[in-house]
Amino acid sequence: MARAEKPIFVVAIAVAAAILSYRPVYEPDLGWHLAQGREALAAHFVRTNLFSFTYPDYPQHYTSWLSEAIAYSAWRAGGDVGVRTTQALVLAAALAFVYLACRLRATALTSMAVLAIGFLVIEPRAIPRPHLVSFAGIAFCSWLVERARAARSARPLYAAVPIVVLWSNAHGESIFAPAMLGLFAIAELIHPSALPRREAFRGLIVAIVCGAALLVNPYGWGMLRYLYENAILPQSLTISELQPAYLPAYKAFFVYGVVALLVLASLPRQLTLWEALAAIVFAALGYRYLRFTPLVVFVTAPMIAARLTAWNARGLDSRAVLVTALVGAVFVSRLPLFAYVRSLQPGGLFPQTMFSSRAVEFVRTEGLAGPVFNSNNLGGWIAWELYPDVRVFQDSRLQAYPQEHFDAILRASRSQEEWDALVRGVDWAVLSTPRPNALSGAGRFPLEQWAAIFWDEAVAIVARRGGRYDGAIARLEYRVVTPESDIFALAPLLSSAQGARLRLEAERQRLENPTGFTAAAVMCVLDDSTACDDVERLAARFPAFEHEAQFVRVLRSK
C-alpha cells in the first residue's frame, strides 16, 4: 500500500464503520446478548434457559459467549457508546481485511469502487449482534486466500487456525471458515490455478484442522447441534433474517450480484474453479437467507476488483470506475445517502419508541416481580433490565424453547379461552404497543380481567384483577386514558362526572408518556399551553395526528 494511500484508507474505513455503528437501530436480540454476556463474566455460562420461567431447564447447547462478554464489558466501560464503539471496531476490521484482500490483485481505485457498492450490501445487516464477528472472520479468511494465491503456498492459511478457535467462541458462523478454506483447497486440487496440488492438499489439511478448532469452546459439539437447530427453527414462525432477500430493502445485494456476474463473465479465461464455486455458493446463501447477504461481498470483492484492474490495463479508466460506483451508490442505497449522516448518534441502543426506560423504572418502583407474560420482542430487553427479579414468558432465543411453546402461543392467540389458560400462571404482563402480532398478546388482555397500570408509546403494563397486584391497580389503574383511547372519545367526558378522573389520568400520563399525543390533547383542551405546544409539535412531526389536532383547535376556539 502506497504511503499516500494509507491515510485515505484509514479515514475511509473509520468513517464507513462509524456510519454503520452510530445510528438508531431496532434490535430486540441485543438485550439477551448483553444479559448472557453479564452471566458469562460472572462465570455463569448460559447452558439452560435461565431468563425464562416457562422452560428454565431447557438446554442451550451453544451461545456466542465471547462476543457477548466483550459487548457487556464494553457497556460497563462506556454504556451505549461503548457497545457502539466496539461494533465500529469490528466492522472496521471486516472492511479493512476485505480491502487488503482486494489490493493484492487490484489497484486502490478499483478496490474502493467495489467496496462503495459492497458497503450498501453490508449496511442492512450491520446491527449490534455477534454475527458482526463473522463479518470480520470471513473477510480475514478472504485475505488469507488472496495471500495464499499470491504466494502460491498454503502457508498463509495457517493463521486461520487460531482465529477459528477465537471465532468459534464468538459466533456460530465460524463454520464458514473451514467450509470456505476447504472449498478453496478442493477446487485447487481438482483444477490448480494458484496452488500446486501439493500446496492445495496442505490447504485441505488446514481446513480440516479449522473444522476441529470449531470444537474448542465451552460447548464443544453443542455448537454444531445449535447450528442444526437453527436450520430447523419452528416452521410456524416467520423469522425475518431466515427469509429470502427481497426488494427494495436489499436492492444493493441484487445489484451487486448482477455486477459481479457481468464482471466475472467479462474475462472468462481468468475465472478459476474456486472463484466460480465461491461466488455461486455465497450468492445463493445470500439469496436464500437475507442474514447472509453481506458475506458475498467479503468473499467476491477481491475477484471483482481484480477483473476491473485487468480492464484498466485494456484502457478502462479506474477513476471512471470509482466515479461510476459512487454515483451508482446514490441510486442503489436503501436510504438517501444524507440520512446515514443525519441519523448519527452515540447512544440509543434501545430506542424509546420500542423499549421504554420509564416502564423499567415503573416496574422497579412498584416492585413488580416474578413470572410475567411479555411480548416476544421485549423478552431479551426484560432479561437485560430486570433479571433475576423478573423471569420472562418468551423471547427471541428461539432455540431456547421447545417448538411447542411457540405453537401454543400462536394457537392461543386465536381464542380468548385458550389465551386465558395460557397465561393463567402470571399476574402481570408487559406488552409491546407499536408491534402487535400473534406473539405479542395484543388484544388478549380484556379490561374486565386486566387493568392497565402503565403505558407509553412503547410499552403497556397490565395487572390481573384479583391477583397479587390488586393494591397497585387501586392506585394506578388507567380507567379513562387507556392505550386505545383518543381525544374524540375523551372530549365529551370532560364535562361529565368522569371529568375529574380524566384530568388526573391525563396529568399522570403526561409524566409517564411525555411524547404521547392523547394526554397532551386532553390537557390542551383544558388550557394547558405547554400541552398545546406539544400537540402542534407532534402534529407537525406526525401527519397522522393532524386530524385530532384540528379537533383540539376547534374545541379550544369554542
Question: pLDDT tens-digit profile of 132-158?
Answer: 999 999 999 999 999 999 999 999 999
| pLDDT of amino acid 336 | 86
CA angle 422, 425, 429 (to 5 degrees): 80
SS (H, E, C) 409-465: HHHHCCCHHHHHHHCCCCCEEEEECCCCCCCCCCCCCCCCCEEEEEECCCEEEEEEC
Q: In this model, does residue 341 exceed pLDDT 90? A: no
Span 380-394, average pLDDT: 97
Burial of 497 (0-12, 13-18, 19+ CB in 10 A): exposed
Q: What is the pLDDT of residues 474-524, one digit of tens each?
A: 999 999 999 889 999 999 999 899 999 999 999 999 999 999 999 999 999
Query: Model pTM?
Result: 0.92
pLDDT band at 299 (very low <50, low <70, confident <90, very high): very high
Is the pLDDT higher at 5 or at 444?
444
Contacts 24+ apart (CB under 8 A), 159-166: 160/206, 160/210, 161/206, 161/209, 161/210, 161/213, 162/213, 163/137, 164/137, 164/210, 164/213, 164/214, 165/213, 165/216, 166/66
Span 315-333, average pLDDT: 89
Is the pLDDT higher at 240 or at 515?
515
Q: In this model, does residue 235 exceed pLDDT 70? A: no
Report the length, in residues, of the chain: 558
Q: What is the pLDDT of residues 170-227, one digit of tens each?
A: 999 999 999 999 999 999 999 999 999 999 999 999 999 999 999 999 999 988 888 8
* Whole-number Å distance between alpha carbons of 505 and 516: 13
Span 414-427, average pLDDT: 95
pLDDT band at 343 (very low <50, low <70, confident <90, very high): confident
| pLDDT of amino acid 236 | 55
| pLDDT of amino acid 166 | 97
| pLDDT of amino acid 178 | 97
Q: In this model, does residue 430 exceed pLDDT 70? A: yes
* Whole-number Å distance between alpha carbons of 471 and 22: 43
Q: In this model, does residue 4 exceed pLDDT 90? A: no
pLDDT band at 348 (very low <50, low <70, confident <90, very high): confident
Q: Which of 68-77, 109-118, 240-249, 432-441 is predicted with the least confidence, judged by mean pLDDT?
A: 240-249
Q: What is the pLDDT of residues 271-293, one digit of tens each?
A: 999 999 999 999 999 999 999 99
Q: What is the pLDDT of residues 15-40, one digit of tens each?
A: 999 999 999 888 999 999 999 999 99
| pLDDT of amino acid 223 | 87
* Whole-number Å distance between alpha carbons of 542 and 144: 50
